[in-house]
Structure 1
Amino acid sequence: MLDRRTFLIQGALAGAGALAGGWAAPLRAAAPPSQWPPYAQAMVVDGCGFIGSEDAQPGEALSKTLIEDARASGLRVLQTTVGPVAQYEGAYEAAMRDIAYWENEIVLHPDVFMAVRTGADLERARRENKIGMVYQFQDSAPIGEKLERIDDFQRMGLRTVQLTYNVRNLAGDGCMEAGDAGLSKFGHSLIERLNERRVLVDLAHSGRRTATEAIAASKAPVLISHTGCAALVERPRNKTDAEMRAVAQGGGVVGIYLMPFLRESGQPMAADVVRHIEHALQVCGEDHVGIGTDNTVSPVKLTEKYKRLHAESIRERRTLGISAPGESETVYLFVPDLNTPRRFEIIAALLSQRGHSDARIGKVLGGNFARVMGEVWG
């Protein structure tokens, strides 16, 4: 089974050949404006992102290209997934290996990366123009039935736990479970332990009832690190206005992703991203919206190999029962006119062009995520 990191790297780099019959180079933004003057000083946070390449072998050190793309991105904080999804066997060990991998990369590249443990670390990353790395689970499977593992993972740098992936686990139902049974008894205990250890609760991929019950159960603000707006495109991966409003009322943040679920069909574009951001702003208010791309930092390149890997990934996800409606072998996990490491600056420029203030844009780019992260982590 492909783990979450491998699937996203392979899928995101699979390219956009269906759009124009076969491009051989990275797509570049054409029409959107590309500069937003305050960007260099902004707190730019990707609530769910990845650094990697489909050519790299498991455990292989980051390449010079990946490092340079990360440096050029302008990101100050990257919340990245460690551990697998939708599997319990070996999940604990896999998460430990992923954390160890990133701890080593941070040591190897202290001029580019730094470990984030507290709110003060977030500001230090911004001030020193580094990328603060935050470890996130996209499934609570590595914890298994042993809540004491949260203590161990927290000491190792884990700062955010997504309760479920698309399917049911011990904590509750994911967004693909038709029964939508909600949060389990164990899920309530899990949230209580996460709150005690000052680890953020993330409700991306969760079922509707699971999300509603988890928001109510948590004593701390929660995240939906990467999603879209169901009011615009009804997909299980997208969140309803009621869910998003409840997150905001609890002081949390909703991150908009750059995924196929932003439109009914075809490849999503920057205009779709902006449309979902603006809807979320209307529902949640400007203090409770962010961006979680669910993409790799490096831009997509198209080859036949990438298209093949993407199609294989989608077929495997369907076989495993974890594929969501809207996933397609010919629609890829990126936005063509945001296909650059500095995609956050393009989004900022588009929002500015539409009349949003620099202060509001700064909150959306990452100020809101950073505020809640600091509040919960201390």
Structure 2
Amino acid sequence: MIDRRTFLIGGAGALASAWAGGRAWAAAPRWAPYADAMVVDGCGFIAGEDGAPGAALSAQLVDEARRSGLRVLQTTVGPVAQYEGAYEETVRSIGFWENEILAHPEVFMAVRNRADLDTARREKKLGVVYQFQDSAPIGEKLERVDDFHRLGVRTVQLTYNLRNLVGDGCLEPGNAGLSRFGHSLVERLNERRILVDLAHSGRRTAAEAIAASKAPVLISHTGCASLVERPRNKTDAELRAVADGGGVVGIYLMPFLRESGQTTAADVIRHLEHALKVCGEDHVGIGTDNLVSPVRLSEKYKQQHREAIRERRRLGISAAGESEEVYLFVPDLNTVDRFQTLAVLLSARGHSDARIGKILGGNFARVMGEVWG
């Protein structure tokens, strides 16, 4: 199966971050507090350019991760829309990251609790958080929640786009909501102090999971449905419910932020500002759903993109708004320090440094620390 992550990995560029016209950012704008900010990507990836499974990170990718200024990256371990072999694949993926953290202790560290969050910020390292984008690795066995907690998983997304044992994803027309097993899983995640993530979930699944959870929840990467109606985007009611429960909503850098054409930084800002209006400044963050490294728009990338979209359509997991002609990154944010650029843009629109710090990651970190303890 060619999923979006595999495609993104195959298209990751080297140092160049060129768009169609050959434009590159020679010098990124600066936001003065950035170096000391708690910068959190609620959903992102670091991976090798060739996309080879298990390939060690190159020195360039490690350096780009360091230069990103990120202090926490929630990265996906394990497959989506796949039950067979999901447990084993997830354990291998965690093993890969454990090796990379050990190999580059000057850049990476594992994040499991509030103290680790503080350490990553203080020591200016990139803290890696293991997250699921589908609860399939758990299968029908709630005891696996305990296993994965011991292995470092700290955030679990209940569904991907389709229906699973837990509930309906955003592409299911039945919108059946959370299953009885899903309720049991939410309870177990709460008990083990693992964050519940509702990105990709169906409307009813999200509402019922928010109501069922005794802890704040995340929507790690999404957009605002009231601006652009797409299955992946969340309604104002969903956004407000997450905020009312103390959780955080992350805005992504994906094609679903506009009706057609390539997403721009202005679209990202528009969705961030709408989320701020609905949720308040203490409940909004950024989950790029992108690679940390910039993308090189090569012919190889374009071909991989076409093939990935066609395969997703064949498998029934392609969401409305995915197009062979629209690429999965934001051209004017296609730099390793894109969070810095977003901070500059927000500042130019009159947002205070304190608010910008919350959006860049302070809000995510607060909820993470609260739930993980």
* TM-score normalised according to structure 2 size: 0.97
Partner SS for 1:305: helix
Aligned residues: 372
Q: Which residue of 2 aligns with 1:234?
A: 229
Alpha-carbon distance in structure 2 between the residues aligned to 1:12 and 1:331: 16
Alpha-carbon distance in structure 2 between the residues aligned to 1:66 and 1:29: 18
Aligned pair 1:100/2:103, yes or no?
no
Q: Which residue of 1 aligns with 2:123?
A: 128
- Supply the AA of the counterpart residue of 1:293: T
Aligned pair 1:28/2:24, yes or no?
yes
Deviations 1:146-201 (A, max 9, x none): 00000000001000000000000000000000111000111000000000000000
1:49 to 44, 47, 56: 44
Alpha-carbon distance in structure 2 between the residues aligned to 1:144 and 1:96: 14
Alpha-carbon distance in structure 2 between the residues aligned to 1:33 and 1:132: 24
Check whether the contact 1:86–1:139 (CA below 8 A) recurs between aligned residues.
Answer: yes
1:117 to 103, 112, 121: 112
Check whether the contact 2:4–2:308 (CA below 8 A) recurs between aligned residues.
Answer: no
1:320 to 315, 321, 345: 315
2:279 to 272, 275, 284: 284
Alpha-carbon distance in structure 2 between the residues aligned to 1:10 and 1:185: 39
Q: In the TM superposition, what is the alpha-carbon distance from 1:64 to its structure 2 partner? A: 1.1
Alpha-carbon distance in structure 2 between the residues aligned to 1:274 and 1:120: 31
Q: In the TM superposition, what is the alpha-carbon distance from 1:305 to its structure 2 partner? A: 1.1
Structure 1 gaps of 5+ residues are none
Q: In the TM superposition, what is the alpha-carbon distance from 1:29 to its structure 2 partner? A: 4.7
Partner SS for 2:9: helix
Deviations 1:124-143 (A, max 9, x none): 00100100000000000000
Identify if the C-alpha distance between structure 1 residues 179 and 29 changes in structure 2 by more than 3 Å, giving closer, same or farther: farther
Larger mean CA deviation between 296-305 and 318-327 belongs to 296-305
Alpha-carbon distance in structure 2 between the residues aligned to 1:53 and 1:60: 7
Q: Which residue of 2 aligns with 1:8?
A: 8
Alpha-carbon distance in structure 2 between the residues aligned to 1:3 and 1:98: 15
Alpha-carbon distance in structure 1 between the residues aligned to 2:185 and 2:7: 27
- Matches for 1:1-378 after TM superposition, within 5 Å: 1-3=1-3, 5-10=5-10, 20=20, 28-29=24-25, 34-378=29-373
Alpha-carbon distance in structure 2 between the residues aligned to 1:295 and 1:82: 15
Alpha-carbon distance in structure 2 between the residues aligned to 1:294 and 1:103: 21
Deviations 1:287-342 (A, max 9, x none): 00000000000001021111111110000000000000000111011000000010
Alpha-carbon distance in structure 1 between the residues aligned to 2:4 and 2:142: 22
Structure number with the bigger relative contact order (C-alpha 8 A, sep ≥ 6) is 1
Larger mean CA deviation between 129-138 and 48-57 belongs to 48-57
Check whether the contact 1:12–1:332 (CA below 8 A) recurs between aligned residues.
Answer: no
- Supply the AA of the counterpart residue of 1:167: L
Alpha-carbon distance in structure 1 between the residues aligned to 2:10 and 2:310: 13
Alpha-carbon distance in structure 1 between the residues aligned to 2:297 and 2:344: 26
Check whether the contact 1:4–1:85 (CA below 8 A) recurs between aligned residues.
Answer: no
Identify if the C-alpha distance between structure 1 residues 343 and 16 changes in structure 2 by more than 3 Å, giving closer, same or farther: closer
Alpha-carbon distance in structure 2 between the residues aligned to 1:151 and 1:4: 28
Alpha-carbon distance in structure 1 between the residues aligned to 2:240 and 2:142: 29
Identify if the C-alpha distance between structure 1 residues 10 and 325 changes in structure 2 by more than 3 Å, giving closer, same or farther: farther
Q: In the TM superposition, what is the alpha-carbon distance from 1:33 to its structure 2 partner? A: 6.9
* TM-score normalised according to structure 1 size: 0.95
Alpha-carbon distance in structure 1 between the residues aligned to 2:24 and 2:208: 42
Partner SS for 2:74: strand
Q: CA RMSD in A?
A: 1.8
Alpha-carbon distance in structure 1 between the residues aligned to 2:348 and 2:119: 30
Alpha-carbon distance in structure 2 between the residues aligned to 1:262 and 1:224: 16
Q: In the TM superposition, what is the alpha-carbon distance from 1:9 to its structure 2 partner? A: 2.2
Partner SS for 1:340: coil
Q: In the TM superposition, what is the alpha-carbon distance from 1:60 to its structure 2 partner? A: 1.1
Partner SS for 2:325: coil
Q: In the TM superposition, what is the alpha-carbon distance from 1:57 to its structure 2 partner? A: 1.8
- Supply the AA of the counterpart residue of 2:347: S
Partner SS for 2:285: strand
Larger mean CA deviation between 216-225 and 45-54 belongs to 45-54
Check whether the contact 1:166–1:177 (CA below 8 A) recurs between aligned residues.
Answer: yes
